Chains A and B, each alone.
Chain A
Amino acid sequence: MEGGKDLKQARTESRRDFLKSWPIAGLAMLVGMKFKAVPLWASTDAPYNAREHKYGMGIDVAKCIGCGRCAEACKNENDVPREPFYFRTWVERYVINSAGETTVDSPNGGIDGFPPTTNEKGILRTFFVPKLCNHCEDAPCVQVCPVGATFTTEDGVVLVDKDYCVGCRYCVQACPYGARFVHPKTKTAEKCTFCYHRITKGLQPACVEVCPTGARVFGDLKQRSSPLARFQRFRKLHTLKPHLNTKPKVFYADLDEEVR
């Protein structure tokens, strides 16, 4: 009888142990899956580690001369259609007259220069503002994409997967900065990539490379010694449409309140 009792007890104990071991096994499996998702050896294979970076851009409005070389370089570098309404970056001219009315124009994105301003006497103030995708921290375009074709990379760049995009144009509608368009040939969404193929190789984006006055500053927000970090420390910065809480990573210095 005693032996039977012992046996029973032993059996229940082993069942309890067995059940106890389940969560551990589950955890082990999860950990295993996690390791499968991000292979540990990836860092040795590719020297570029996206997690170490977070990219942003600074724009010094007072330095922009409106030459449009950035828009031209962007079209060259990224094979953007040459038609005057497809731009990944473009330059806007703001003219505010003494009556307080603001006119904004951007003929061909500023690539061919700007026509002379009419009625120069009535100008109160006027300046150029380069525009591009703001690579928002909370990007509305990423939120609305129904298929996961647009996304934020680990280094904070908003990209489009052109093989996965279905061309529904939700993102074009959602972007508050008008930074997206649908490519006329592929019929998929396109936008500024911060020249992702260049920055991951240590180069500057094409627009920053050619800016003749240094109005555009590119850098790594995680690095304290980057030109952008310096720009952030010494300039009074503003982002576009901050009330939308998109948290843009393109910072403007000397921005006028009329700019939206």
Chain B
Amino acid sequence: MPKQLTRLIIVFTVLAGGMLFARHRLLPKTFGERGHYRAAAVTYIQNLPVKYAGREICAGCHTEIVASHSANRHQSVSCEVCHGPAAAHTESPGEVKLAKPNKRAGCPLCHRYDPSRPTGFPQIDPQTHNPMKPCITCHNPHRPETPHVPNECSACHGEIARTKAVSRHAGLDCNQCHNAPVQHKVTPRTVHPEKPRTRLFCAKCHGKDANSSKEIPRIDVDTHGGRYLCWQCHYPHMPEGT
């Protein structure tokens, strides 16, 4: 064999050996076991801690609540949707307590009115629907009832009710001026309550010779305000404001 060839072979063998050695040293242990990746990474990800325990486990202790909850409109809502991740609680129920979302913040995430939500999904406007009241005062989240007609006007007309409540007109019932028919509560957009139409309506209390309490401010209905109607200057739900 020619000398130069022998040398070349030696050089190449050393290079190839070096490469193989380097590859052996540098390649992570489990690389290529299952594919072009480290098999150990899969095991690592597989062993990450679980934080959401799953809905089945809750029934082990909270039998009654789960039983009533799984037979109504909220049955598809897992416990952990409202109460948060529960795996830690299932391991040490005494030490780790879950959140009790009894404020007004949680429910509107699903039930605040948004035109993007599917038609027919129960929705309310949190600004006008019984404002300031926590949802659970009327609705039981574990057994939500089919919505029924509210008794008070403030259930829908919350802003007006709140304004009126701090005004001089606080003592007046809505019906004193509006006379809402019962059907308005069922189909609010087709049957409307009455509204005062003439100055004489306000004059029943505020007129010069009206038969009412002496503390009530009086005006001469014929001359006061010229051609304007009372509520064009005075806001009846907050009369002192304007």
Measured between alpha carbons, how far is A104 from B157 in the docked complex, in Å?
A: 32
Interface flags, A133-163, vs B, CB<8A=1, else 0 = 0000000000000001111111000010111
* B135 to A: closest C-beta gap in Å: 14
Measured between alpha carbons, how far is A69 from B110 in the docked complex, in Å?
A: 9
* A201 to B: closest C-beta gap in Å: 7
**A126-B115, A204-B54, A212-B81 given as contacts; is B109 within 8 A of A161 (CB)?**
no
Interface flags, B28-68, vs A, CB<8A=1, else 0 = 10011111111001101111111110110000000000000
* A215 to B: closest C-beta gap in Å: 9
B109 near A69: Cβ-Cβ < 8 Å:
yes
Q: A209 to chain B: which residues have CB within 8 Å?
A: 52, 54-55, 78, 80
B33 near A201: Cβ-Cβ < 8 Å:
no
B52 near A126: Cβ-Cβ < 8 Å:
no
The answer to the question of A184 belonging to the interface, with a C-beta cut-off of 8 Å to chain B, is no
User: Closest residue to B127 on the A side, CB-wise?
Assistant: A116
Listed stretches A3-11, A20-28, A59-67; interface member: A59-67
**A37-B33, A161-B37, A212-B110 given as contacts; is B85 within 8 A of A73 (CB)?**
yes
Interchain CB contact (< 8 A) of A206 among B35, B38, B52, B76: B52
Q: A76 to chain B: which residues have CB within 8 Å?
A: 51-52, 84-85
User: Closest residue to A127 on the B side, CB-wise?
Assistant: B116
B114 near A116: Cβ-Cβ < 8 Å:
yes
The answer to the question of B89 belonging to the interface, with a C-beta cut-off of 8 Å to chain A, is no
The answer to the question of A38 belonging to the interface, with a C-beta cut-off of 8 Å to chain B, is yes
User: Closest residue to A164 on the B side, CB-wise?
Assistant: B38
Which residues in window 89-133 of B have CB below 8 A to A?
108-110, 112, 114-118, 121
The answer to the question of A117 belonging to the interface, with a C-beta cut-off of 8 Å to chain B, is yes
The answer to the question of A226 belonging to the interface, with a C-beta cut-off of 8 Å to chain B, is no
A197 near B34: Cβ-Cβ < 8 Å:
no
**A95-B116, A114-B114 given as contacts; is B37 within 8 A of A151 (CB)?**
yes
Measured between alpha carbons, how far is A184 from B145 in the docked complex, in Å?
A: 45
Which residues in window 56-89 of A have CB below 8 A to B?
62-69, 73, 76-78
B76 near A212: Cβ-Cβ < 8 Å:
yes
Q: How large is the interface on A (under 10, 10 to 19, 20 to 34, 35 or more residues)?
A: 35 or more
A148 near B54: Cβ-Cβ < 8 Å:
no
A63 near B36: Cβ-Cβ < 8 Å:
no
B76 near A213: Cβ-Cβ < 8 Å:
yes
Measured between alpha carbons, how far is A19 from B96 in the docked complex, in Å?
A: 71
**A148-B37, A164-B38, A212-B110 given as contacts; is B54 within 8 A of A203 (CB)?**
yes
B41 near A66: Cβ-Cβ < 8 Å:
no
A65 near B85: Cβ-Cβ < 8 Å:
no
A117 near B116: Cβ-Cβ < 8 Å:
yes
User: Closest residue to B47 on the A side, CB-wise?
Assistant: A197
The answer to the question of A210 belonging to the interface, with a C-beta cut-off of 8 Å to chain B, is yes
Which residues in window 180-224 of A have CB below 8 A to B?
193, 196-198, 200-201, 203-204, 206, 209-210, 212-214
Q: A78 to chain B: which residues have CB within 8 Å?
A: 48
A164 near B28: Cβ-Cβ < 8 Å:
yes
The answer to the question of B77 belonging to the interface, with a C-beta cut-off of 8 Å to chain A, is yes
A38 near B114: Cβ-Cβ < 8 Å:
no
**A76-B51, A161-B37, A201-B50 given as contacts; is B109 within 8 A of A113 (CB)?**
yes
Q: A50 to chain B: which residues have CB within 8 Å?
A: 42
Residue pairs across A and B with Cβ atoms less than 8 A apart, 12 shown, are A37-B33, A65-B121, A68-B109, A69-B81, A69-B110, A73-B85, A76-B52, A114-B116, A196-B45, A196-B48, A206-B85, A212-B81
Chain A residues in the interface with B (C-beta under 8 A): 37-38, 48, 50, 62-69, 73, 76-78, 93-95, 113-114, 116-117, 120, 123, 126-128, 148-154, 159, 161-164, 193, 196-198, 200-201, 203-204, 206, 209-210, 212-214
Closest 9 CB pairs of A and B: A161-B41, A151-B37, A197-B48, A212-B77, A126-B116, A67-B110, A148-B36, A210-B81, A67-B109
Q: Identify 4 new A-B residue pairs, CB closer than 8 A, beyond the known A76-B84, A77-B50.
A: A66-B116, A78-B48, A126-B116, A159-B42
